[in-house]
Each structure stands twice: as structure tokens, then as C-alpha cells.
Structure 1
Amino acid sequence: MFLGIDIGTGSSKAVLADADGHLLDSEVVAHEVSYPRPGWAEFDAEGTGWTEVARLCRALFDRHDAGAVAGVCVSAMGPSLVVTDEDLVPLRPAILYGIDSRAGAEIAQLTEEFGAEAIFADSGKALSSQAVGPKIRWLRNHEPELFARARRWHSLSSYILAKLTGEFVLDHHTASQCDPLYDLRHNQWHPGRYAAVAGHLPQPRLAWPAEVSGTVNAGAAQATGLPAGVPVCAGTVDAWAEAFSAGVRHPGDLMLMYGSTMFFVQVLGQFRAEPRLWTTAGVDPGSLTLAAGMSTSGSLTTWLQRLFGDTPFETLVAEAAAVRPGSDGLLLLPYFAGERTPVFDPDARGLIAGLSLRHGRGHLFRAAYEGIGFGIRQILEYLENAGEPIRRVVAVGGGTKARLWTEIVSDITGREQIVPEQTIGASYGDALMAAIGTGAVSAATEWARTAAIVKPEPGTAAVYAQLYATYGQLYPSNREHLHVLAALQEPESG
């Protein structure tokens, strides 16, 4: 058996799979991240993350023989920053990925220090809240005594790897989101920037995500029930593990992940970069990807459901399905939590345009799906213009269960979407990495099987083309007004 574990934003999941990709068992435990201040997002790497890994393992091994586990791989939300002492004890909660925006001043500082063009040339992207380097600099600037006591820095997945094996290893994909420390063109730590940003902290050894990087040690065996000596692969960031699980591994493949946010990963054939996108290392050795993300998608439909008095989700979907394409002239800009790609504006806000007394909740719910769909179409165009032709779109995530949503997206974008049979996500991709890394299956093995293909309805193309043109003007025409309104939403000081 192969054990895959993923620590996500809302839960930790573990799966056991055999070498043919058959899911043998799974276990999930819910958790929450912490938002101690505006713009901060944190997670307890040891008390929650490591504790849940041990709990998930124990639950699975109550039902299965742990002695049959032939390999382990762990992914996690990221890139995140965990700093520890010499005994691997975290000195503070993990600082999470792009949703933690505390290091704005440090982004500007590092950009001025190294030069925006030089960073972009080596990293394939501009510095943003997604990057780890500014978070490390933030620790040096704001918690200097704590930073002086730190002896190692980790991502969340590499911290779990260290707990399991004692090894200090970071995978190439996560490292490629640690800008400006990593040289993406040469897949190595940048010789001129690492010490300037990380100071006395040593460089983690680099490995590809499916590469065996250590074995379960005695302490981890006691905590988890895993046998000592089981190989453990390096692991990676959850979205890329999920793309791997869905067979998004070849140039032109694109993963479209429907969740509380929307995330995109496209596999590249060669190095390409675009300022509004993120170029990163991929999962397979030497591979490259382009990525993008929207700040609000499924969370918007959840908000609407609450707004409508917790009406059953199925009822709202049925009412939305009864509304004709275009929502009878209703258009929604889905920037309810700011926006990442393509505007990168934390002060952008949502907008509902065209409201009339004849519109009901079905119109609003459909308009939400359509607004997200227009945002997806924009990003797909950016990806294709900056990268390479999109050959295949694979839809994953919990949102794929709402067939109406995927149908609307296909209608708006004019693209087919493949929905895999197994949608459990990143932990399933981790199990495949463990099977590949240990040599149980070949490096080219894919477990993804198609469950459905969603095709666009040609009859909707004209109305969606007209609305898409208007959608493209909503943000630029209203940007300054939205910023004024966003400022009024800031909590009063004190």
C-alpha cells in the first residue's frame, strides 16, 4: 500500500492506495486556520498539522496492516513558512501562502534591493504575497529575537517530512515559490540572494516531489504506527499534488481546480513567464508550470446560500438552472475578497450590475457561476497568450459535483472539461508519488481515469460573448470607486 497525506486549508486527508491506483481507504479530519490580525493567516504546524498526521495514520492502521505500507508522501497548503529550533520545535505558527499579506513592505524592499527585472528573469514571476522570501525578511524585521533563535526553515510539507525522517529537504516546486531565493532557470538556490534574505538559516537540500528523501525514524514510527524504515518522498504543495493526481503532467495540460477559491496549473514545454501569472517548477523532474488563482469562487456561492437563509444548495442550483444563460441581463464581478489573477488587487470588491425588480435568487446564484466563469475565461486567455496552447482541461475539486457550474464554465470558455473518476485530490496524488518514488510503478504511471466530459453548448456562445465584453469593463471602469468602498470597510483602529 502507498500512503498519501495532505494538510489542506480546511482539513487534513490521508488515503491508502495500491499500485494500480485503487483507493483502499481514506480518512479526513477538519481543522481551521487562524487569522490573528487583518492580512495575517497562520497555522499550528506541530499541534495541529503533525498531530493530525499521527491521528490519520492511527485511524487507517486500525483497519489496515501498517506493515504493508511501502511508501509515504505528504503535501500541504503552501508555500508556507515554518521556522524551528535545533530540536524541530516550531518557534511560532506557520505563516501561510498568498492569503497572508503581512509582508507588503518587505516585498517592496526586496524588489528594490534586487531589482524587479532581475527577480522576474530568475524566478519567472514578480514578488507577491505568495512568495516565501518576503515572509522570511518580515521575521527578521519584526521578530528579530525569534529569528535569531531559529535554526531551520521549512514549508509545511517539508516540516512533516522532517518530523517523519529527520531530513532537512525541500522539494523543487515549493522552492520555486520561495522567491527570490531560488533560481528557476537552473533549479538551485540563488547564490547571490539566499544569505541576503535567509541570513544564518542553512539551505535545505533540494529534491523533486516524488524523490525518496528519507525513511521513517523511530520517533515517527511510535507516533504514527508506521514501521520504521518506510521510504518517504519529498512531497510538495497541495495544488500541484492534486494536478498530478488528475494526470496533468504533459505540456498543454491544464488543471482547473474548483474550490473555495479557483486555481489553475498549466504544464509548460519550455520556460515562459508573464507578469500576471506565476511560473514554477512542476512535480516531474525538470518540468515547468504556469499558475494562476482567483480569490473567490465556491466561497461566493456559500455566501449566497447563507444570505438566502441557508436554503438547500440543491434548491439554489435547480433555481439557477431554470434561469436562461446570461441571467436575464445580470452580471456579477466576483472580487468579493479582492482578486489575485489577473488584477492582483487586494482592494478590489464585488459588483452586481443590472439588477431589476424581476430578478430573484436563482438569477443571483446563476450570475455568481457566470461571473466566476468570465473570470476563468480571462485567465485561460492570459495563460494561453503567455504560455502554450491549452491542449486539455481537467476539472477537479468539490465544485465539480455541481454539474451546472462546470457546464456554465464550458459554455463561457468554449472548452471541454475532463472530470476524473477519482476526485479525492492531493492526497491521492501523494500516494501516486510514493508509488513512483519507491519504484513500485514506472515514472510515467498515471492513475487518473475519466468519469465525464463536459462539452460547451454552442447555442450559448453569442449571449456569453456579449456579456464577456461588458464584464471586461466592469473592473477598470469602477476600480477607483471600489477602492473607496474597500477603505470604508476597514475596521476602526483601537
Structure 2
Amino acid sequence: MSFVIGVDIGTGSTKAVRCTLDGEVVAVARRDHAPSLPRPGWAEMDPERDWWGDVVEVLAELDSTDVVAVCVSGLGPCVVQTDVDLRPRRPAILYGVDTRSTREIAEITEQLGAGAILERCGKDLSSQAIGPKLAWLKRDAGEAWRPQDRWFSAHTYVVAQLTGEWVLDHHTASQCDPFYDIHRQDWATDWVEQVLPGLALPRLVWPSEQVGTVRRDAAAQTGLAEGTPVVAGTVDAWAEAFSVGVRHPGDLMLMYGSTMFFVQVLATPTSVRGLWTTSGVERGSHTLAAGMATSGTVTTWLQDLTGGVPFETLLREAAAVPAGSEGLVLLPYFSGERTPVYDPLARGVIAGLTLRHGRGHLLRATYEGIACGVRQILDVFGPAERIVAVGGGTQGGLWTQIVSDVAGVRQVVPQQTIGASYGGALLAAIGVGAVPPDTDWTRPDHVAVPDPATAATYRTLFETYTELYPATRDLIHRIAQ
């Protein structure tokens, strides 16, 4: 029997799965880690320890016998600059939760023009874009800047460690604004030269392409057989969407994780202000995406704040609180906000606290606040043919039910919600021709349907939520600065 391995480097952990070619998960390995937050607005990771080191450990834990391919996905888009021997120059800068490049975003937008960037790249420049992060690295390094250095996202750094190949999949490249032309699906080399002259660019590939094989030294560290094929992979949210069959125009994935993330497959590329148009997973495809800055991370913060009480206890208490959290409203902008607010200086707000509110109220208000943010984003997306809910936050059902109630949408919850590593395993199987390209491993488990009894309460809550941010924005900006 043949097997494939999918690995995913997440914000909070690295996971690996060993699967049969019909999608049965036969083994799982995991290592936890956490980003470093050295300054307000900064979010970093150590690529040698948190990315490659964790991947080595999870791969070594799995049986590599009869493994025909491996694929790595990862949090992103991130950026780490290395020398030719893959030694990082500094810690990796994470995706949109790292907002240090605000100055560079403004400068590049002024240089190239906001309208031109939106048309050519499919989105406005934001903290999610890699171009401004690279420009920040150049400014920070000063005369020590080396434009011929290599630069990687999380999964491509690991691919390089495994194979020696410097590649970037088209999806991740399409988040390297303003350096990728979404219509031509190729590097915008003229803009690269205008913004960062001489910047070296990796070879572009599609996520399911085989890009190399495991080198001897990587084999010795990971336990994989030397010569095992390695498939390119992509950013974790897109690998997760692929894992649950979000592959056809109108399909939308809603990912419940450290952040809430949205991926919808498009029939044709389109630019929507406030959302992100990107290349997709399958060759020539396009997607529309959005992401909140914090979601599951707020529930972790709340658990820590309440003395590490078992999360099952918090969940049970939150489920007992009525819809609307008895007058408590929460803005989940604990690390600024990405779509649709695009405000790196936004901060969390808890309004309506009284002495009778307890930790269960806080958790339910957190879920409800996130659900209001989800509704804001879905309103910009417009109608979806099918919404598939994935991620660890779907476990237990309370969070998904609250989102369905607040946003008024049906959500299909699959049987297998193990995540992006599962999508990576499927990409690995497709990439080496072990299964047909249209193979879909997903099976539905249940559907979350809006409860009409909560509709009036959540309509009022949503109105209050949308008014609370502009009402407090100036004060919060003053505090944040």
C-alpha cells in the first residue's frame, strides 16, 4: 500500500498526517509553538526552530515506509530573508497580523497609484502584502541589504530545506503585492525594479507541482527516504479549502482558527475593494479571500486570563448564556483588523460590562463579536453557492451555530476537519499522479442552520457592533499610539 504525507506549519502548531491514497488518515503528529510579539504591531517566528525544526520532528515521528510524496503548507504570506545556504538574516515576519510596514504601504501606494495596484494585483496594499514587508527589511538593513538574497514564506523555506529548490507557488506569489500580476499570473518585473531594484525572484510553480526530491541530509534528519518527491504546497488556508472540496466557482470556505479566514473560488478574476483577489490552488484558477486578524487567539487569551480553566468548562458556561450575552458586545480587534476594516491601530473593545457578567458571558460575546465580523465580510462577498466550515473552532458546534445565527447562513461541516495538512496530503497524491486531479476526499458530517428564534436579538447586536468601531476609533487610535 502507498501513502502520502501532508505537513502544515500553523500559527500555533505544526501538524503532519500520513494518509492512504483514498484519504484515510492513519497517523498524525503535532508540535506546538507560538509567534513572538517583540513590539506592538510585530509578529515573528524563528524559521530554523519553529518551521524547519518542528517539521523535522513531526516527520521523524511518522512512519515513512511506502511514502510516495510529501507536501508542505504553511501560515502566510510570511517573509524570511536568507543567504544562499538558507541561514536566516533575522526572524521571519508573519502575515497580516504584523503591521510594521505601514509606512512602506503608504509610500508604495503613492509611488504606483492605489487604482493601478488594485487593478493589476487584485487588492489594495495592506499589512497582508509581502512587497511592503520586503521594503521594510531593506530600510531596516540599510547598507547591509542584499537584493540577491533568497526570501521565503513558511512552507517554501521548508521545501528548500528538503530539496534545495527555491520556488514560490502562484497563490503565495499573488499575495506578494505589488510584485505579481493577477491577470497574467506572473511576476510584475517592472514594478519589482521600481520598488526594489535587483530583487531576486523565485521560480513560480503551481501548488500541486512536484518541485524536487528529498536530499540526503534532509532524509537523515526527517526519516523520509532520499529521493522522495516533494510537491510545492501553498498557504495553509488555501490548502485547507482544497482539503474540503472548495474547488468550484461559488464555493466558499470559512476557516475557524487562530484567525477567521475566507476563500471563495471565482469563475473569473475580479477586483473588490476590501477583499483580496489571488491565484488559486489549481492551475489557472482565481479566488477571492478575506481574513480577520484575531479569532481563536482571543479565546486562548480569555482562557489564560481566567486562570487556565479547562476550555470545555468555558464552552459549557458560554452555551448557557442567552443570545446577545445579556448586553455584552465585543470588538475582536486585539491585533488590529484586516478585512473589512483595514486598521492596524484598531484594538479590542468590550462594551456593556456589569458586575453580573462572568467568564461564560465573555466567551459567548467573543464568539458573537467574531460572528458579526464574519457577517460584515460575507456581506461584501455577496451570495455563495456553498459555505464549508473548517478548522478546530468547528468542534463542539457552538461557534459555528452562532456564526450561522448572526450571519444567517447555512454551513456544511465535513467529517474530516483536520486542516491544511490533509489538503497537503491530497496535493501530494495529485502532484505525483497517484490519484486523478479531480479527486475529492471530503465527506459532509452535518449542516449548521440559522435558528430563527435568535434573529431579532442578533439583528440588534449586529447594528450595535457596526456602530461601536467608528464611535470609538479616534479614542482607540490615540491609545494605540
Shift of 1:144: 3.3
Shift of 1:276: 1.0
**Which position in structure 2 is the counterpart of 1:368?**
366
Per-residue displacement from partner, 1:166-223 (whole Å, max 9, x unpaired)?
A: 2221100000000111101110001311233343333211111011111222222222
Distance change (3 Å), C-alpha of 1:349 and 1:37: closer
In the alignment, the residues of structure 2 paired with residue 123 and residue 234 of structure 1 have an alpha-carbon distance, to the nearest angstrom, of 22
Distance change (3 Å), C-alpha of 1:95 and 1:146: farther
21, 24, 27: which one pairs with 1:25? 27
Distance change (3 Å), C-alpha of 1:23 and 1:356: same
Is residue 4 of structure 1 aligned with residue 9 of structure 2?
Answer: no
The 5 A counterparts of 1:144-155 are 144-148=142-146, 150-155=148-153
In the alignment, the residues of structure 2 paired with residue 351 and residue 82 of structure 1 have an alpha-carbon distance, to the nearest angstrom, of 33
In the alignment, the residues of structure 1 paired with residue 7 and residue 360 of structure 2 have an alpha-carbon distance, to the nearest angstrom, of 38
Greater alpha carbon shift after TM alignment, 152-161 vs 390-399: 152-161
In the alignment, the residues of structure 2 paired with residue 90 and residue 363 of structure 1 have an alpha-carbon distance, to the nearest angstrom, of 44
Distance change (3 Å), C-alpha of 1:31 and 1:364: closer
Shift of 1:380: 0.6
In the alignment, the residues of structure 2 paired with residue 467 and residue 94 of structure 1 have an alpha-carbon distance, to the nearest angstrom, of 39
Per-residue displacement from partner, 1:353-373 (whole Å, max 9, x unpaired)?
A: 334454444333322221211
**Which position in structure 2 is the counterpart of 1:72?**
70
Shift of 1:150: 4.6
Please state whether the residue corresponding to 1:232 is helix, strand or coil.
Answer: strand
Q: Is the 8 A contact 1:253 1:393 kept in 2?
A: yes
In the alignment, the residues of structure 2 paired with residue 253 and residue 425 of structure 1 have an alpha-carbon distance, to the nearest angstrom, of 17
Q: Is the 8 A contact 1:136 1:197 kept in 2?
A: no
Q: Is the 8 A contact 2:97 2:335 kept in 1?
A: no
Is residue 56 of structure 1 aligned with residue 50 of structure 2?
Answer: no
**Which position in structure 2 is the counterpart of 1:139?**
137
468, 477, 484: which one pairs with 2:478? 484
Is residue 197 of structure 1 aligned with residue 195 of structure 2?
Answer: yes
Shift of 1:446: 0.9
368, 384, 393: which one pairs with 1:390? 384
Distance change (3 Å), C-alpha of 1:308 and 1:144: closer
- Opposite residue 56 of structure 1, the aligned amino acid is V
Q: TM-score, normalised by structure 2?
A: 0.95
Q: Is the 8 A contact 1:91 1:150 kept in 2?
A: no
Per-residue displacement from partner, 1:211-265 (whole Å, max 9, x unpaired)?
A: 1111222222222222222211111111111111121111111111112221111
| Identical-residue share of aligned pairs (%) | 58
Is residue 470 of structure 1 aligned with residue 470 of structure 2?
Answer: no
Distance change (3 Å), C-alpha of 1:223 and 1:336: closer
In the alignment, the residues of structure 2 paired with residue 319 and residue 223 of structure 1 have an alpha-carbon distance, to the nearest angstrom, of 45
Shift of 1:73: 0.7
Distance change (3 Å), C-alpha of 1:333 and 1:94: closer
**Which position in structure 2 is the counterpart of 1:491?**
none
Listed as ranges, the gaps of 5+ residues in structure 2 are none
Runs of 4 or more above 6 Å deviation: none
**Which position in structure 2 is the counterpart of 1:492?**
none
280, 283, 302: which one pairs with 1:282? 280
Is residue 442 of structure 1 aligned with residue 441 of structure 2?
Answer: no
Distance change (3 Å), C-alpha of 1:468 and 1:223: same
In the alignment, the residues of structure 1 paired with residue 180 and residue 75 of structure 2 have an alpha-carbon distance, to the nearest angstrom, of 19
Q: Is the 8 A contact 1:85 1:149 kept in 2?
A: no
In the alignment, the residues of structure 1 paired with residue 157 and residue 14 of structure 2 have an alpha-carbon distance, to the nearest angstrom, of 15
Q: Is the 8 A contact 2:277 2:289 kept in 1?
A: yes
402, 413, 418: which one pairs with 1:408? 402
Distance change (3 Å), C-alpha of 1:52 and 1:325: closer
Q: Is the 8 A contact 2:5 2:71 kept in 1?
A: yes
436, 455, 461: which one pairs with 1:461? 455
**Which position in structure 2 is the counterpart of 1:341?**
339
Q: What root-mean-square deviation, in Å, do the aligned CA atoms of Structure 1 and Structure 2 show?
A: 1.8
In the alignment, the residues of structure 2 paired with residue 182 and residue 167 of structure 1 have an alpha-carbon distance, to the nearest angstrom, of 20
Shift of 1:315: 2.6
Shift of 1:138: 1.6
- Opposite residue 365 of structure 1, the aligned amino acid is L
Is residue 424 of structure 1 aligned with residue 418 of structure 2?
Answer: yes
**Which position in structure 1 is the counterpart of 2:98?**
100
Q: Is the 8 A contact 1:83 1:150 kept in 2?
A: no
The 5 A counterparts of 1:159-238 are 159-238=157-236
- Opposite residue 404 of structure 1, the aligned amino acid is L
Q: TM-score, normalised by structure 1?
A: 0.92
Q: Is the 8 A contact 2:372 2:465 kept in 1?
A: yes
Shift of 1:116: 1.2
In the alignment, the residues of structure 1 paired with residue 156 and residue 307 of structure 2 have an alpha-carbon distance, to the nearest angstrom, of 42
315, 318, 324: which one pairs with 1:317? 315
In the alignment, the residues of structure 2 paired with residue 149 and residue 270 of structure 1 have an alpha-carbon distance, to the nearest angstrom, of 34
Q: Is the 8 A contact 2:108 2:132 kept in 1?
A: yes
**Which position in structure 1 is the counterpart of 2:113?**
115
Please state whether the residue corresponding to 2:168 is helix, strand or coil.
Answer: strand
**Which position in structure 2 is the counterpart of 1:16?**
18
Q: Is the 8 A contact 2:41 2:344 kept in 1?
A: no
